[in-house]
Each structure stands twice: as structure tokens, then as C-alpha cells.
Structure 1
């Protein structure tokens, strides 16, 4: 007979339930979570199992504990609107968070077939690829990869070296304004390197955004992919 019992550890299920409630803003930053006794009764487990789940959330940066006081929400998801104009720093400042971007790697290479199609350039044309991490209040919330057509935005590689802001780099390259032409959102899971960089666990949920930004003439100037930590960002669509 087939064994239909779940193989998910109970503590992981409890952590997932509390993470979802924090994401849904049932608890806000600074709010105290229910006591271990309350959670033990709610989930029908012993306190050791509850403690294991809370330790997992502490490691993720979502919860902090104080001896004798209990467990508290350390952070709630950052609201991140996606519309015609998406500006990282402005979005986070508007949400009351401190933004930071860290460039990990910049490379000049030939465009892949998919990149060439997205950027409306020849297959193998020169592009600049920029890889980095985005932070809110010091916590990593997303990995990003941006690809720029070098023939269209000459010198973008040097400008990205001088500034971590894509908007500033494009301005220096002669693109005074740009807008988002398309966005595609896909639910994925973190691989081992993504989990390491985002302080997650392998297999944790991510939301991948794939987009194309165009200049005032409608020509693509950036093809980007961003992997958001699923429980740290709430993406909202602007119309």
C-alpha cells in the first residue's frame, strides 16, 4: 500500500504557517508572536518543535527572540510596486525602508539568443551583463541580473562600475528616461547559490520577475531578471 503520510517535518510546516501570517501582515514589525505554549497547543506539538520552527525564522531574519520576553517580528514584507516606471530606491524609500544595491559582477560578452530577442538586437551582439543584490534595511531581498545592449547604451559597463544605480548609469549613457514595456512573474524555488546569497534555504520560494525596459523611442535598453525572496517582498501591480 502507498504511504500517503507527509514527509515534511512538522517544525517546517509550523515555520511556513507563521511565515505566511507575517507575509499577510497579521503581525507587523515589533509585534509579539504567540507564546510557545500557545503555539504548542495550536499545532498539537511539544515546545521543542515550536522552538525549532522559531529558530528557523530567526535565522531567516523574520523573527527575533528576547530571553524571558518571547518572540517578536523583526521584519514584515516590503511593498514593491511594479508599474510603467520602476525605480528601486524610490520604491523602498516610499515604503519606509532603507535601500541598498550591491554590484557583484559586471561582464561584457555576446548576447544569447533569448537576450537578443528581448533586446531586439542580433544574436551574438555585444551586451553588458550586471549581477547584484538588493537590500532593504540591511536584509537581502532580491538577486538581479540586467543585460544592456552595448551598441545602444555605449559605456554602460563603466557607468555601472561608478554607480550602483541603473537609472544613473543609463542617464550617463544618454538614456534620459525609460519605462517598463513588459513584465512576467514566475514562482520558482531557490537553488543552493541563490539561497546562500539571500540568506534562505535551498528550495525556499522565490518570485522571478522578467522585464524589458525601453527608451523614449521604444527601443529596448535593458533586459532584466530579478529573483525576489518570496516572504520578504509583496509585489503590487500598478495600473
Structure 2
């Protein structure tokens, strides 16, 4: 991690259209390769329960997958990392130690992720407001022809900023009601997936003081059926969760 926290704070404050910072070579190079080699097989990971339109997989077990992954968990849970995130946003935040909705992510062959805004209130904690998405990319030898750049915009109708998902690159992006992000269909080499590790930072709020919403999707050039589903997704999922519970919580198996 960069020692120049002040420079990162300045970078975050001046960035746009979604506030973010990019930290290259975040981990020791040897450890980063060990972490990549230790990633779970995408076929053993459950398909995202929050997205039905392509083969995106999630497994929220970073804290107990292996001795190697626990080392990254310890970094994310360290006071130093929480302090960095807190200085970026300007008030105290903390990371979810169970990585609900996060942990290991894999976009399998041909996958994509439509522009969306993430859920704001933690599924299991009504007083946790999501502040940051923390994304560590693990794609050795990534080439532009593979696609999969992280797209960031505050308005789906406006041009987006593209962040390359390079190996050992950490992106910390704000999570607000207008922090739209996603990635276009990938063309990774056969047998390769778009790999990342995701963690989320929260602040504490008074329960009920913020209107809860689940993931809000804004698909581009979509069919009428998909557009209608996306428009009503928040209502559908919140109703389902009320009776059946959050599916996102089930990705810690």
C-alpha cells in the first residue's frame, strides 16, 4: 500500500465521475501470485444470486478459504486499511469481516455485468450503510482485447470511465446511489475467467434512517423483458427477501 495517504486522498477527492483511487502493485508480487494460484475454481463457486443475466460467480469465504487467503483478510481487517478508507471518505468506516456479496468473484467465459448501483444497507445489519467497494484484480497478463474493464459513471447516459482490471491492482470506489459500475462482455482466453476479490466498507447509521434498496440495474440496449425486470428488480428482490431472506447471505458455504 502506498505510504503517501495524502496523495491518495487528493486523488480520490479530484476523481470522477465516480470517486475512486487506483493502487497498482498493492500486494507483494510473490504473494499476489500465490493468491491467484490459490483462487477457488469458478465451477465450485455459486452463481451470483443477485444477477441472472450472465455467468458471474461469488464465494464469500475469503476469511476461511485457506491460509493464503486469510493473509489478505488480515490486511483488509487491519486498522491501517480502515484508516485509509476512513481518510478517503472523511469519516470512520469499517470493513465487513464476512464479505457478504463480496469475497471471491469470477466472470466466466462471455460474462458481463450491466451498469448498476449496489445495495446500500447490509442484508444482516440494518444500521450498516455501504460506503466503499474495494476490488482487487487478479488477471495475470491481461490484454485490452480481453475486455472486462471496470466501467464507472454517475449517469448511465453519459460516457463512462474505464479502469483496466490489471493483475494486483486495487480499486477503491465510493458506493452511492449514483455510483454506477459494471463491465462489458469479456473475451478472456479459453479456460480463463475475470478474477477479483471484493470487500466492502460500511459506516454506522441509525437503523431506518436510510431507505434500503437492493441492487439497481440499468441495462443498456436490452430487450423489453430485461428492461422491465431491471426497472422492477428492487421491488421484486426486497419483497422476496422479506419472505425468503437474502440470497446474498447464502454465498458463505
Q: TM-score, normalised by structure 2?
A: 0.26
Question: Structure with the greater relative contact order (CA < 8 A, sep ≥ 6): 1 or 2?
Answer: 2
Question: Which of structures 1 and 2 has the bigger CA Rg?
Answer: 1
TM-score, with normalisation over the residues of structure 1? 0.27
